[in-house]
Amino acid sequence: MKPMIRILAILSLATPAFADSHAMGDAAEGAKTFNKCKSCHVIANGDEVIEKGGRTGPNLYGVIGRQAGSVEGYRYQDSIIAAGEAGLIWDQASLAEYLVDPREFLRTYLDDPKAKSGMAYKLRKGGEDVASYLAEVGPEVASEDEAAPADG
């Protein structure tokens, strides 16, 4: 092995999580992973349906950059609404973390051991990819600046 190649190989072994540092996740992979979400979620921008799916969960169009628990007309559980009112605005990192264990995420976020989640699903792996996919299919979000706090 040439020395330079060896150094690169060692570096990439040492930092697997950051091997792909330009993006959090892989949107193309996330599009495939989204198949696991379709039984309960659509992605639809008004009449433009990006992903067909069930209606058990809220429409995920534009979820990145949106206040948690805020799709109009959708009946959420109390905890996710409380989290949104406390300032939770989904970004790729928080969404990826939520998917691993929604109830645990809300309990930690609200510092409330009794918080509940209406989402009876856990995604063990690939949350970053799905988050990246949802960001890609959603509207443009100013990701660098802090999202503006919700009024009120």
Q: Rounded to the nearest whole angstrom, what is the least distance from the CB of residue 103 to ligand HEC in the complex?
A: 9
Nearer to ligand HEC by Cβ, of 12 and 108: the residue is 108
Torsion 97-99-105-109 (CA) sign? positive
Which residues, other chains included, contact 91 with Cβ-Cβ below 8 Å and sequence gap of 6+?
A: 64, 65, 143, 147
Q: Rounded to the nearest whole angstrom, what is the least distance from the CB of residue 123 to ligand HEC in the complex?
A: 4
Cβ atoms of 63 and 138 closer than 8 Å: yes
Nearer to ligand HEC by Cβ, of 42 and 80: the residue is 80
Q: Rounded to the nearest whole angstrom, what is the least distance from the CB of residue 7 to ligand HEC in the complex?
A: 37
Q: Rounded to the nearest whole angstrom, what is the least distance from the CB of residue 93 to ligand HEC in the complex?
A: 12
Nearer to ligand HEC by Cβ, of 58 and 138: the residue is 58
Tell me how far the alpha carbon of residue 28 is from its chain's centroid.
Answer: 15
Instruction: Give the whole-angstrom CA distance, residue 78 versus residue 128.
Output: 26
Nearer to ligand HEC by Cβ, of 7 and 120: the residue is 120
Q: Which amino acid is at 37?
A: C
Q: Rounded to the nearest whole angstrom, what is the least distance from the CB of residue 95 to ligand HEC in the complex?
A: 5
DSSP letters for 1-37: --HHHHHHHHHHHH-GGGSSTTSSS-HHHHHHHGGGT
Nearer to ligand HEC by Cβ, of 65 and 69: the residue is 69
The contact set with ligand HEC (CB under 6 A) reads: 36-37, 39-41, 56-58, 60, 63, 68-69, 71, 76-77, 80, 95, 99, 117-121, 123, 130
